[in-house]
Structure 1
Amino acid sequence: MRMRPTLSWTPTEDLPPGTTDLEPVTEVLSAGGVLILSGAGLSTESGIPDYRGEDGSLNRHTPMTYQDFTADPRARRRYWARSHLGWRTFGRARPNAGHRAVAAFGRHGLLTGVITQNVDGLHQAAGSDGVVELHGSLDRVVCLSCGTSSPRRDLARRLEEANPGFEPVAAGINPDGDADLTDAQVGDFRVVPCSVCDGILKPDVVFFGEAVPPRRVEHCRELVREAASLLVLGSSLTVMSGLRFVRQAAQEAKPVLIVNRDPTRGDRHARTRVALPLGSALTTVTERLGIPVDGRPTAPGES
């Protein structure tokens, strides 16, 4: 029997309580050398929901696993129908105050890097450079047979042509870009193959049950080694893909600070967890540091 990956986490130990004191975050950033690790909670103010928490999408939705996607043509049809609709919402999303604050920290030389668990491209749209997309990005598509990578907008055009009039109303959109549709709404949605070899196309993201590429993991570990501190923004740290970097920083005696509304799996490794909305919290920090938040928000991929 194939086991599904762990998708939720409930605190089972006494964890340090959250605080509203932003001074430790301000102090760490003012010293520079900060590595950012961001999660879905940073993008909720852009209209992209979180997986976890009281209103998280996991309460109604189980994300597609790599095993199901590769093994079952019906699962792929459901996924691409739902993802095709969800992509329209992602394409309209704009960076919020939290993304713009992170970009401002980078412009002022306070960061050594940004690692994001998000697949929405909003850090880059806000102006952050050198972002490591731990779980990939929805704006790229890869062929599982020949390895060809292509822009998501090209696939979206092909799917539009193959499915004229496909305009169902989704019950919700999830952080992986998957819209909530019934089987009846999916209907006989047509999936298109790779334009090079007719192979199976997959979004260039790490599905649940799929491993993050080892070279990417090692690059992130090197970023942790080079940083003076780690600042976690909007991640519950439920899955090991992000938690391992928190554990590494703690083992290397580097300060770990977390800004997240709810308790996280990394709280026991952290100096503090600030339980405030990210946009307003990070804006307050920029003001305390005297850093202007410049630039206009742009859409992912917009130049």
Structure 2
Amino acid sequence: MGAALLDRLDVLGSLVAEGGVAVLSGAGLSTESGIPDYRGATGRARPSTPMTYQVFTGSEQARRRYWARSFVGWQVIGGAAPNTGHLAVTSLQRAGALAGVVTQNVDGLHTAAGTADVVELHGNLGRVVCLGCGAVTPRQELTGRLAAANRGWAAEVRGVHADGDADIDDATLDSFTVVACTSCGGVLKPDVVFFGERVPPERVAASTELVAGARSLLVLGSSLTVMSGFRFVLQAAKRPIPVAIVNEGPTRGDAYAVAKLEAPLGAVLSRLAAR
């Protein structure tokens, strides 16, 4: 690390040493686990269009195509392990430095790393919810049922996004078989917030309360492009409490930060935890 980065790391270290840090994490924290982020270092959105709630609920064909891509993508997301950044956040929490953790990620890696009481703002791909009866079941159970219903089905994978949506050949999508809820025969959906879907108000309230009682806000690996995360930077700035950002690339919140570090998150957070 250069002298300028070390200076900013000192600012970060001072904030963490005071305790009461609210952490807001995004997809950039999970890239070192092999999960691509949404926009990369440039901050530009991915070329493909993500699934929206309206399209998913309104079209059987859209659901078939979504589950085909997600069936493939889950092999990457479900097999990912926490990286040094996730483990460092857990270490900071156990050292008593954190007020709490809010994540925009749906990969469950904070919890897998041992971080407690994480507010999963956008849900978790490891769970499946029935839109008919509301039953919540493990993703692995659905994966087994989909595998049994699609023996012999295969697709060429060109990439996987942070939301578990795989980029595969369109020609293979319509031959995929979707299964229904075993309890009521209803439509199954991953327990995540799609574009166009409202973040559950209890999660927003829990996150807002966390930032309201924190001494500082630390943003990790998020471009803050969507308002669901950026709102907490605005809340922190309004109080005001210090905002620090660690992200490879520009963010929407840079103007509000007392310190901005553009460096690999695993290295920065490991140094921070070691202090």
Q: Shorter chain as normaliser: what TM range?
A: over 0.9
2:204 is aligned with 1:217: yes
Specify which of 278, 286, 289 is matched with residue 265 of structure 2. Answer: 278
Aligned partners of 1:59, 1:156: CA distance in 2, in Å? 26
Aligned partners of 1:49, 1:57: CA distance in 2, in Å? 13
Aligned partners of 1:112, 1:76: CA distance in 2, in Å? 39
Specify which of 231, 237, 240 is matched with residue 244 of structure 1. Answer: 231
Aligned partners of 2:248, 2:27: CA distance in 1, in Å? 12
Could you state the TM-score of these two structures normalised by the residue count of structure 2? Answer: 0.95
Shift of 1:63: 1.0
Structure-2 residue corresponding to 1:74: 61
Aligned partners of 2:218, 2:108: CA distance in 1, in Å? 19
Aligned partners of 1:225, 1:212: CA distance in 2, in Å? 19
Shift of 1:57: 8.7
**Unaligned stretches of 5+ residues in structure 1:** 1-18, 290-303
2:158 is aligned with 1:171: yes
Per-residue CA distance 1:99-151 (angstroms, 9 max, x = gap): 01000000111001000000001111111000010000000000111111111
Structure 1 counterpart SS, 2:184: coil
Alignment of 1:89-238 (within 5 A): 89-238=76-225
Alignment of 1:254-265 (within 5 A): 254-265=241-252
Q: Which moved more, 1:47-56 or 1:107-116?
A: 47-56
Shift of 1:187: 3.5
Shift of 1:276: 0.8
Tell me if the contact between 1:145 and 1:200 (Cα under 8 Å) persists in the aligned partners.
yes
Shift of 1:56: 7.2
Letter of the 1:279 partner, please give it.
G
Aligned partners of 2:53, 2:43: CA distance in 1, in Å? 21
Tell me if the contact between 1:50 and 1:57 (Cα under 8 Å) persists in the aligned partners.
no
Shift of 1:185: 2.1
Aligned partners of 1:175, 1:70: CA distance in 2, in Å? 21
**Unaligned stretches of 5+ residues in structure 2:** none
Per-residue CA distance 1:77-98 (angstroms, 9 max, x = gap): 0100000111111121011110
Structure 1 counterpart SS, 2:195: coil
Structure-1 residue corresponding to 2:31: 44
Structure 2 counterpart SS, 1:92: coil
Shift of 1:54: 4.4
2:58 is aligned with 1:59: no
Specify which of 27, 34, 40 is matched with residue 14 of structure 2. Answer: 27
Structure 1 counterpart SS, 2:160: coil
Structure 1 counterpart SS, 2:125: strand
Tell me if the contact between 1:261 and 1:277 (Cα under 8 Å) persists in the aligned partners.
yes
Aligned length: 270
Work out the percentage of aligned pairs sharing the same amino acid: 57
Letter of the 1:245 partner, please give it.
F
CA 1:57 to 1:72, structure 2 compared with 1: closer, same or farther past 3 Å? farther
Shift of 1:183: 1.6
Per-residue CA distance 1:212-239 (angstroms, 9 max, x = gap): 0111101110011111110000000000
Aligned partners of 1:242, 1:172: CA distance in 2, in Å? 25
**Could you say what the CA RMSD is over the residues aligned between the two structures, in angstroms?**
1.3
Aligned partners of 1:57, 1:47: CA distance in 2, in Å? 19
Structure 2 counterpart SS, 1:172: strand
Aligned partners of 2:81, 2:156: CA distance in 1, in Å? 22
